[in-house]
């Protein structure tokens, strides 16, 4: 696959790096397609337990590449629909994977880039990280990321972020529960890898089962969620280790 996404294995951790630093890793169609392909490949690889997603250079991902917007107009309906489907798939893939994904974020994570970070299971952010949804300032809306954003930070905070377009600091994102940890910039990858290695040190069967159950019950009514938990409780007896 294209070197627009770099892939490196570190033990049972797969590190994927968005590699368009000259464009602040902005998401064009090619980058999005290759990223999804690498995520799906890592999920199939039995040697991988955890994925770390980061960006090359000074930004995680500046959002959609607006240079493509001139070709995404109503008179190119098929192209518009393909890009919309691809964008949706790129945010949905994280919850469909059985392997946990940790975002390691420095600098800008804006628009679709913020959406990617928050779609990951865990987020470690540099002190200089900025998250935001500036689409409204360009006369458009963050259509696909709103659903997950609302689930992450709640209705009031999510509406403020998408309706004002103002960015939030890593410290604010931590308070809202959008991310897990804020660390000095020079420690970003070390901290993300330490967290990944902790997860990778657990039983793969248990780790994968936790993620699958977590995403399954997150939006279920209480009784339905408890029933899924009961099923998992029975199933886990098959791989208990003293």
Choosing from 135, 160, 227, 228, the catalytic residue is 135
Contacts of residue 234, defined as CB under 8 A and 6 or more positions apart, other chains included, come to none
> Residue 112: in which H helix or E strand, if any?
helix 112-119
Strand partners, 13: 10, 50
Residue with tokens 């377009």: 165
Contacts of residue 46, defined as CB under 8 A and 6 or more positions apart, other chains included, come to none
CA distance 46 to 73: 42
CA separation, residue 119 to residues 4, 169, 236 (Å): 20, 18, 26
Helix, strand, or coil (residue 48): coil
Query: Is 135 among the residues known to form the active site?
Result: yes
CA distance 138 to 191: 35
Contacts of residue 149, defined as CB under 8 A and 6 or more positions apart, other chains included, come to 114, 115, 118, 133, 142, 158, 161, 162
> Residue 118: in which H helix or E strand, if any?
helix 112-119
Residue numbers annotated as active site: 135
């Amino acid at each position: 696959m294209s070197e627009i996404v770099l892939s490196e294995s570190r033990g049972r951790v797969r590190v994927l790096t968005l590699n368009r630093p000259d464009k602040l890793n902005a998401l064009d169609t090619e980058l999005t397609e290759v990223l999804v392909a690498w995520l799906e490949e890592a999920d199939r690889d039995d040697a991988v337990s955890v994925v770390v997603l980061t960006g090359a250079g000074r930004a995680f991902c500046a959002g959609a590449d607006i240079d493509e917007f001139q070709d995404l107009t109503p008179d190119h309906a098929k192209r518009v629909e393909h890009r919309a489907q691809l964008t949706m798939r790129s945010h949905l893939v994280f919850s469909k994977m059985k392997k946990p994904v940790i975002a390691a974020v420095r600098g800008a994570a804006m628009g679709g880039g913020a959406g990617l970070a928050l779609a990951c299971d865990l987020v470690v952010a540099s002190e200089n990280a900025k998250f935001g949804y500036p689409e409204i300032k360009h006369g458009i809306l963050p259509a696909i990321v709103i659903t997950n954003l609302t689930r992450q930070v709640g209705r009031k905070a999510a509406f403020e972020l998408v309706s004002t377009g103002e960015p939030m600091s890593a410290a604010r994102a931590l308070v809202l529960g959008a991310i897990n940890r804020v660390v000095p910039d020079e420690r970003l990858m070390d901290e993300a890898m330490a967290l990944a290695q902790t997860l990778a040190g657990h039983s793969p069967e248990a780790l994968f089962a936790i993620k699958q159950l977590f995403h399954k019950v997150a939006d279920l009514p209480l009784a339905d969620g408890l029933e899924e938990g009961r099923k998992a409780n029975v199933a886990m007896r098959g791989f208990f280790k003293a």
